[in-house]
Amino acid sequence: MAIFRVLVPRYSSVVYRGRFYSSMSELRGLVLGAYASENDKVNKLTPYAQKFNDQVTSGKLLEQINVAGPLKVGQTRILWNTSPKYPVVAVAGLGDAASWDILDGLDGVRENVRIAAGAGVKVLAAEKVAQVEVEDFNGQAEAAAEGATLAAYRFQEYKKLEARKTVAQVSLAPDASGAEDFKRGVTTAKAQNWSRLLMETPANLMTPTIFAQEVQKKLTPLGVEVVPHDREWARGLGMESFLSVSKGSDEPPVFLEMTYNGAGGDQKPICLVGKGITFDSGGISIKSAAKMDEMRADMGGGSVVVGTIAALAELGAKINVKGLVPLCENLPNGRANKPGDVVRAMNGKSICIDNTDAEGRLILCDAICYAERFNPRYIVDLATLTGAIRVALGFCVTGAFSTCDQLFGHLSSAGSKTGELLARPLQSMFFLCFKTAVDED
């Protein structure tokens, strides 16, 4: 399953007011779409929006949004008092899907729908509209649900109630098409929002133990077997590399194992392995203080693994998946790893630690060794492994290091549909740099 990420840019909005005054909590809003290519001087509504324009507003909606010219993708305009059912309507620009370059490798139609639906939900939530209905955007209900649900997410779990901003409840407009597709999109997006919640929770409130408990609470009712293994279990299997990272923290490590058998029988599983560093200070090779708080999200790979399994289970996907997340903190104390230390992985290979802030590969190598025991079809390893990948590829592309053309093809195809661009920066010459002076394997 692809990893779902939607970038919803913030565009300026033109707001048409003249509203009546009622409780904002009672307001119901509607998100509609409009197309406009680069050379268009007016907007063209989607079929659903055109029907609403003709039958509900007698043409006033299109007349109003055309006052300010064509809408660019993700740009929004709000109209008040359009109908008794929808006191406020946001029209979001779908742009022109053909404007995406073929080299972008994206399904431009789906991507523009995600952007537009998300922008519409955000602008209505900013107006404190709590109930937002979304049209199907000309047969793209799933993409609309993804964009809308992701945009509605807010992390404000620890703010007092009166300080919290409106979180829009998103649904499909009753007479729109694609109800099942919309439901699927909501399911996948909510699973991603759960992953985001795990990542954004402060590290003292999302320790390895708490992470495992939250996963058990979420996945067990969905029929997923969740087993949190302790330190002694890992030591018995020879996971010295994983345990060496955990030595620097008083929080006990947890090796989280999840099994989803959606296909049953003898189908080989796909193994998803996720980095689970619930806080990364860098260890003895300590990071700078600036933005170190963001390292609470260094278990992003593990969060995506559990979110993906949640989505698969809720959708009833006919596939067998094994999820593995080694969880611990990377902190400096008298027992922590030191630069130059040599540890041994589960498969017997020795590893020289050059920098203790490269802890991700130390915990993942043991998890990957363990994954081999299940004779999987594929092993997919997900991790916030290094900031250097952002230097190389930027913020909008994921580095995919794969020696399997078939697997990379599947991921790349799924990424095109879900807005996940993948790059494959893997050549054999890179491995020439991976030698050190210490006599290790």
**In the chain, what are the domain boundaries?**
28-196, 202-385, 391-440
Q: Look-up: residue for tokens 């095109």? A: 416
Strands 350-352 and 342-344, sheet pairing: antiparallel
**Helix pair 179-200, 141-152: axis angle to 10 deg:** 30
Gap between the Cα atoms of 191 and 198, Å rounded: 11
231 has catalytic annotation: no
Question: Residue 55 burial (CB < 10 Å; 0-12/13-18/19+)?
Answer: exposed
Residue 170 predicted with pLDDT over 90? yes
Give 372-401 pLDDT, tens digit per residue: 999 999 999 999 988 888 888 888 899 999
377's CB contacts (< 8 A; 6+ apart) are 268, 269, 270
* Torsion angle of C-alpha atoms 58, 124, 74, 398, degrees rounded to 10: -150
Q: Give me the pLDDT at residue 300, please.
A: 97
Q: Which of 287, 344, 377, 424 is catalytic?
A: 287
287 has catalytic annotation: yes
Q: Do domains 28-196 and 202-385 have the same CATH topology?
A: no
Taking all residues of the chain, what is their mean pLDDT, rounded to a whole number? 91
Strands 225-229 and 254-261, sheet pairing: antiparallel
Query: What is the 3 state secondary structure string of the chain?
Result: CCCCCCCCCCCCEEEECCCCCCCHHHCEEEEEEEECCCCCCCCEECHHHHHHHHHCCCCHHHHHHHHHCCCCCCCEEEEECCCCCCCEEEEEEEECHHHCCHHHCCCHHHHHHHHHHHHHHHHHHHCCCCEEEECCCCCCHHHHHHHHHHHHCCCCCCCCHHHCCCCCEEEECCCCCCHHHHHHHHHHHHHHHHHHHHHHCCHHHCCHHHHHHHHHHHHHHHCCEEEEECHHHHHHCCCHHHHHHHCCCCCCCEEEEEEEECCCCCCCCEEEEECEEEEECCCCCCCCCCCHHHHHHCCHHHHHHHHHHHHHHHHCCCCEEEEEEEEEEECCCCCCCCCCCEEECCCCCEEECCCCCCCHHHHHHHHHHHHHHHCCCEEEEECCCCCHHHHHHCCCEEECCCCCHHHHHHHHHHHHHHCCEEECCCCHHHHHHCCCCCCCC
Question: How much is the average pLDDT of 194-218?
Answer: 98
Question: How much is the average pLDDT of 53-73?
Answer: 94
Question: How much is the average pLDDT of 182-205?
Answer: 98
202-385: CATH superfamily: Zn peptidases (3.40.630.10)
Q: Give me the pLDDT at residue 4, please.
A: 34
Q: Which contacts of 349-353 are long-range, i.e. CB under 8 A and separated by 24 or more positions?
A: 349/441, 350/440, 350/441, 351/241, 351/440, 351/441, 352/436, 352/438, 352/440, 353/244
36's CB contacts (< 8 A; 6+ apart) are 42, 43, 44, 70, 71, 72, 93, 94, 95, 96
Among 20-34, 226-240, 353-367, 383-397, whose mean pLDDT is lowest? 20-34
Q: What is the pTM of this model?
A: 0.90
Residue 16 predicted with pLDDT over 70? no
Gap between the Cα atoms of 88 and 132, Å rounded: 10
Q: Which of 110, 218, 322, 361 is catalytic?
A: 361
Structure tokens at 62: 């299109």
Residue 194 predicted with pLDDT over 80? yes
Q: Which fold has domain 28-196?
A: Leucine Aminopeptidase, subunit E; domain 1 (3.40.220)
Bridge partners, residue 380, by sequence: 272
For residue 19, the tally of other CB atoms under 10 A from its CB is: 15
b/e string for 356-366 if b means 16 or more Cβ within 10 A?
bbbbbbbbbbb
The residue count of the chain comes to 441
Give 80-109 pLDDT, tens digit per residue: 998 999 999 999 999 988 788 777 889 999
Question: How much is the average pLDDT of 7-14?
Answer: 33
